[in-house]
Structure 1
Amino acid sequence: MRHSSPRPCRSRVSTLLVVTVAGLLLLPSCRSDDDGADCPPGERERGGVCVPFGGDPGGDPGPPGEASDVADGTSGLDVSESPSVEEDTTSGRSSEDPLWSGDLPSETSPNPQPGRCPADQPATTLTGRVTIPSGALPLPDVTVYVPASDPLPITPGAQCVPCGEEITGNPIVLTETDNQGRFILRNVPEGDNIPLVIQVGKWRRIVNVPRVEPCTVTALPQDLTRLPRNQSEGDIPQFAVTTGGCDAMECLLRKIGIDDSEFTPEAGGGRVHLFAGNAGTRRYAPSMNGGASFTSAASWWSNENNLMPYDIVVMSCECNEGTSSKPLSATTAMRNFANAGGRMFLSHYHYYWLRGGPDDFQSVATWNNFGENIRSPAMGTIDRDFDKGQQMADWMFENEIVDTFGRFEIRDVRASVQTLNEDIATRWAWITPQCLNLPFIPCPPPVEEQPQYISFNTPIGAQPDDQCGRVVHSDIHVSGGDRSSDGSRDGSTEVFFPDGCRTSELTAQEAALVFMLFDLARCIVPDKI
């Protein structure tokens, strides 16, 4: 198994105050990658702070009686077996409910305190695996912790939240998941109904572990440690998804496991609101939301105030640039949304938000309009010369999404980027396009490495600590046979949502999109350090 290269420090706060049973531990924040180069001896960077090693960094729960305070997230422990505790999906407590079923252990408690187990017993430990809501794919770099107080509510909408500040509730112990979604959390308080927080960006689930035995390794059931499928299970970012006749990103959100109940009109209270883009699906099926029609995307995105309540805007390819529906007032509103902390995911022709946008967005890249004359499928190659790209390659290979390390098959190939401003944007994956030599259709320029996925942080030109938002452009489409159509293109028939979402399995290129989507939801750090 390959080792991931170091990951960037995700914290901008100077310190993280961790409450321990024995007292207060002030952990200095890191300024480097996970190699711990700037951390004190015996510590490594995890989750943006320097933390002590929790025993063997390979993932063993640690020597008997090991008195570490925070575990590192690299797990060599097998956490895939059946759980040793019964599932409890309680998620959320009112302000009147106590966080704990009893008091924290005191110096006179008959049960050992965290880090004070007898020499012949392991530390009190929780293990598990964090996945996307459906359970189909594990997720790396998800923060898992036991809070000392109720975590603060998560406020939806574009906002600037520095890394580290999204983790609330005064963690007692915390860790992060590895590339296979596994975590080891040592020195957990023992007792009944111990709260556990699982969080990445504004995705958050708070569950109760029914019983944590002292000085014991407790494996948690996977259904307890997946991300929430609906608001009754936890927090989900507020999504706006525009449909389009040449992609079906709305189906990808459904595939990752978000419940149908969360797809509603704007007034319906769901976490996913759908808007009708050019040639895309424009209404719900009669059995869903009464067959309501979607608001027009063109009228919605023209007003900055309409954008700001959302965390992530996902735009499905509309089969053309759609310049008439994206005047400068709309592209400026979208740029301002990103600058305020919003996240944008642009599929194929939605590159026009950059090409036709304000000057700073235009400076990201120059654009082609090729795609119909490229041989498909093509093999995509992941850029591994930066930390996140290396991690993406490791993640896809270690979880058996692909057979060839660093490469995955891409269907419905496109070639939109002509030149990329690498001072602003980062390329994540590329292809070498092969022309089909179809008559009357131009071939793409002869390039060796045609970008398929790029990203950049906003505001462009700001210092990294002052960047709040993020934009992703992908030439990679949903590929599993899902359809989005209003019946206006090529004699197609109108498709209602979710009737066009016909597949449930994730292809390799869709798994790559899932990795990109959850990276988009994280706190903002530079892609390259």
Structure 2
Amino acid sequence: MASCVVAIASFGCGGGSGSDPDGPGKPGTGGSGGGDTGGGTGGGGGPCKPKTCESEGAECGWIADGCGAILICGQCADGQTCGFAAQNRCGACQPKSCEDLALDGHRACGQQLDGCNKPIDCGSCGEGQICGDGKRNLCIEAKDGGDLGVECKTRDQACAQAGIECGAASDGCGNLIECGSCTAPATCGGTGVHGKCGSVPACEPKTCAQLGYDCGMAVDNCGTVIDCGPMACGAGKICGGGGANRCGEGGGGHHGEACPGGDLTTVTGTVYTPAGANGDPVYGALVYIPSSLGDIPAFPTAATCDRCDTQVPPRAVAHAVTGPDGKFVLTDVPSGTQPLVIQIGRWRRKVDIDIQGCQENRLTAEQTRLAKRHHEANNYDNIPMIAVSTGDVDALECVIRKMGVDDREFTNPNGTGRIHFYKGKRKAGAQISSSTPGEAQLVASVNTLMGYDAVLLACQGGETTRDAADVARLVDYTNAGGRVFATHFSRDWLRYEQPFSSSANWTGINNGFTTATGRIDTSFQKGRDFAEWLRLVGAGTNAGGNTEISITEARQSISTVASAQRWIWLPNNSDHVQHMTFNTPMALPPAQQCGRVVFSDFHVANGSFNGQTFPRECGSGGLTAQEKVLLFMLLDLASCIQSEDPRCRPACRGPATRWASSAARPVTAAAGC
């Protein structure tokens, strides 16, 4: 099982090497340096040696690594429970039926626990019988009109006998008693022990001094980027030359050549969707030059915890994150032929570029677009694995096609493509062929879901009853780092079951508005960047200082958000929310969240697509303004996880940084406040 670190101390510049010209290999091993992980002491103390999930024998749940970080050790396979056999160990629980719970000829009755902490109803007893003898929920013969003088267990007795402080226990008379709930952020079983409350402990932020750093940008152990003095190193020294985030004369990797007049060698460009110059700029893309091909990490084959504070290879020569206009600047880079990596989430492309020293090197749109195909030119080029549950009245898959992804990437799950089709349960949309499976195959197993980086749930024209176990598997998937995008009536995955239902105040209203004006929520930085991006691509207009969009067939599913982040709302129609997001696990603080859920209360395009064969439902032409809104959201869905801090745009500047535009933000650590 894959594990992920959800609180990292820093991005330092270490040593190490490694290369693989044919494709991704193991990343190079970083060099030593004080404070390399949260518990490092800096200088002579050496780095803290963190525990791993493997060293502690932890298969699931979370553990502390002993160096100030929290490790999420994965999810149990479908049918297993974390903590069932032992703490942080998966156990195969075999649920019992009512027949299994019978004893000595007495039939089970009333509310029972199936042995896997799930209630089952075993019904009432026959004539002349009562349910329960005060010990077990069994049918026994009535006496004197049914009065046996049986005393049912009290709550304290039932819970004490079961040895639990939360969850349910039997009262011995046919009923289940709730033994208590947990106070957030604790959850029942949250520490990996059944029936016990627990949660990941709150992290303690550390200062640069506590981390042993004297330069560069770092992470304070709670997911917040801190500035340890990006220009603090003296003449002849570089940040990272003395170890991770330490000033020194060497060990910092490649640097540009000395240029007359103090000029620098720079690389500039604009990241585009796979359509290149005919596409749209990509916001929030990471662009970097690795120190070697071996430093380009291989992507896991399952959903994992991809946080922004773990994205940049520690020994990248130079890196930047694009702004709303997609522009970037890489400063003080080496000349000659160099590999360039462009990435947002698990969308990635690697190209080789020729860099002329002591000048600006402007790249073309063809050089800086995302990949059209998986392994398009090399094994580093990547398209995420995406499952699409198609809907009769929505065609989410068409946004991916129109952004420039090759049609050969759209296949059935047993095909070689990266975009897999499943037919929706209530009324499906398009299909690849008559053998396209139903969505039941997708949600029947956590293992199947975990094979996808994202799951798209298109509107099917109405709600359908969702099995609670299917919803629970979707929750487990997102808690482990999976991403979910649902539109309109696919709210039935979010509206009825905790914890997703607590994300918003759901109205239950089915009708909507033929056309409506949506306003962008700019109370947080990414919302402000989204508004700017919409205006740049011609999908948004400036109305009295507000960015607004025109929405066809807007709906009224949500009145207000609760724990979610609002992005778009209807100022002229009771302020109904049109687009929201929330990160998961919902009970954990932002620095420890791994997955994301997106809900849009409007469609890509209206129509009836049931039974159509892809790509007929997509029509011809480019993205409409409404589709561009969802394009931004699909790429943001794939991006690394960080809290949507309302306060600031990250000030992550490196020494001698230059901008090609106000929106380009070269960084020396993770993008985040």
Return the TM-score normalized by structure 2: 0.58
Q: What CA RMSD, in Å, does the superposition of the two structures yield over aligned residues?
A: 3.5
What is the deviation of 1:328?
0.5
Amino acid paired to 2:369: R
Q: Aligned ranges for residues 90-109 of structure 1 at < 5 Å?
A: none
What is the deviation of 1:12?
4.4
State the alpha-carbon separation in 1 of the partners of residues 266 and 14 from structure 2.
17
Out of 462, 467, 485, the residue aligned to residue 327 of structure 1 is: 467
1:454 matched to 2:580: yes
State the alpha-carbon separation in 1 of the partners of residues 237 and 281 from structure 2.
29
Q: Percent identity?
A: 33
Structure 1, unmatched stretches of 5+, are 1-10, 32-39, 55-65, 71-106, 108-112, 285-290, 435-446, 487-493
Q: Aligned ranges for residues 247-266 of structure 1 at < 5 Å?
A: 247-266=394-413
What per-residue deviation string (whole Å, max 9, x for no partner) do you get for residues 495-524 of structure 1?
211111103322222211111111111111
Which residue does 2:145 correspond to in 1?
Answer: none
8 Å contact kept, 1:17–1:27 = no
1:161 matched to 2:302: no
Out of 416, 422, 429, the residue aligned to residue 281 of structure 1 is: 429
Question: Measured at CA, do residues 52 and 517 of structure 1 come closer, stay the same or move farther in structure 2, by a change above 3 Å?
Answer: farther
1:474 matched to 2:474: no
Which residue does 1:145 correspond to in 2?
Answer: 288
Of residues 43-52 and 166-175 in structure 1, the stretch that sits farther from structure 2 once superposed is: 43-52
State the alpha-carbon separation in 2 of the partners of residues 375 and 469 from structure 1.
31
What is the deviation of 1:292?
5.0
The 3-state SS of whatever aligns with 2:374 is: coil
State the alpha-carbon separation in 2 of the partners of residues 173 and 199 from structure 1.
14
What is the deviation of 1:411?
0.5
Out of 295, 312, 316, the residue aligned to residue 171 of structure 1 is: 316
Out of 541, 563, 567, the residue aligned to residue 428 of structure 1 is: 567
8 Å contact kept, 2:14–2:314 = no
Amino acid paired to 1:165: T
Which residue does 1:417 correspond to in 2?
Answer: 558
Which residue does 1:18 correspond to in 2?
Answer: 13
State the alpha-carbon separation in 1 of the partners of residues 472 and 555 from structure 2.
26
State the alpha-carbon separation in 1 of the partners of residues 33 and 443 from structure 2.
47
Amino acid paired to 1:143: L
State the alpha-carbon separation in 2 of the partners of residues 399 and 429 from structure 1.
17
The 3-state SS of whatever aligns with 1:141 is: coil
Which residue does 2:374 correspond to in 1?
Answer: 231
Question: Measured at CA, do residues 400 and 69 of structure 1 come closer, stay the same or move farther in structure 2, by a change above 3 Å?
Answer: farther
1:402 matched to 2:543: no
Question: Measured at CA, do residues 430 and 25 of structure 1 come closer, stay the same or move farther in structure 2, by a change above 3 Å?
Answer: farther
Return the TM-score normalized by structure 1: 0.73
Which residue does 2:642 correspond to in 1?
Answer: 525
State the alpha-carbon separation in 1 of the partners of residues 238 and 541 from structure 2.
38
State the alpha-carbon separation in 2 of the partners of residues 219 and 251 from structure 1.
32
State the alpha-carbon separation in 2 of the partners of residues 120 and 146 from structure 1.
25
8 Å contact kept, 2:7–2:591 = yes
State the alpha-carbon separation in 2 of the partners of residues 49 and 397 from structure 1.
31
Which residue does 2:131 correspond to in 1?
Answer: none
Question: Measured at CA, do residues 399 and 281 of structure 1 come closer, stay the same or move farther in structure 2, by a change above 3 Å?
Answer: closer
8 Å contact kept, 1:20–1:172 = no
Question: Measured at CA, do residues 159 and 45 of structure 1 come closer, stay the same or move farther in structure 2, by a change above 3 Å?
Answer: closer
Which residue does 1:346 correspond to in 2?
Answer: 486
The 3-state SS of whatever aligns with 2:401 is: helix
State the alpha-carbon separation in 2 of the partners of residues 68 and 347 from structure 1.
49
Question: Measured at CA, do residues 26 and 403 of structure 1 come closer, stay the same or move farther in structure 2, by a change above 3 Å?
Answer: farther
State the alpha-carbon separation in 2 of the partners of residues 182 and 67 from structure 1.
29
What per-residue deviation string (whole Å, max 9, x for no partner) do you get for residues 232-273 of structure 1?
231111100110011100111111111111111212121100
State the alpha-carbon separation in 1 of the partners of residues 627 and 226 from structure 2.
32
State the alpha-carbon separation in 2 of the partners of residues 252 and 268 from structure 1.
20
Question: Measured at CA, do residues 20 and 123 of structure 1 come closer, stay the same or move farther in structure 2, by a change above 3 Å?
Answer: farther
Out of 601, 606, 609, the residue aligned to residue 485 of structure 1 is: 609
Q: Aligned ranges for residues 179-190 of structure 1 at < 5 Å?
A: 179-190=324-335
Which residue does 1:369 correspond to in 2?
Answer: 508
The 3-state SS of whatever aligns with 1:349 is: helix
What per-residue deviation string (whole Å, max 9, x for no partner) do you get for residues 411-461 of structure 1?
01111013431xx21111101455xxxxxxxxxxxx2x1100111111111
Amino acid paired to 1:315: L
Structure 2, unmatched stretches of 5+, are 1-5, 17-30, 38-202, 204-212, 241-249, 647-673
The 3-state SS of whatever aligns with 1:363 is: helix
Question: Measured at CA, do residues 409 and 53 of structure 1 come closer, stay the same or move farther in structure 2, by a change above 3 Å?
Answer: farther
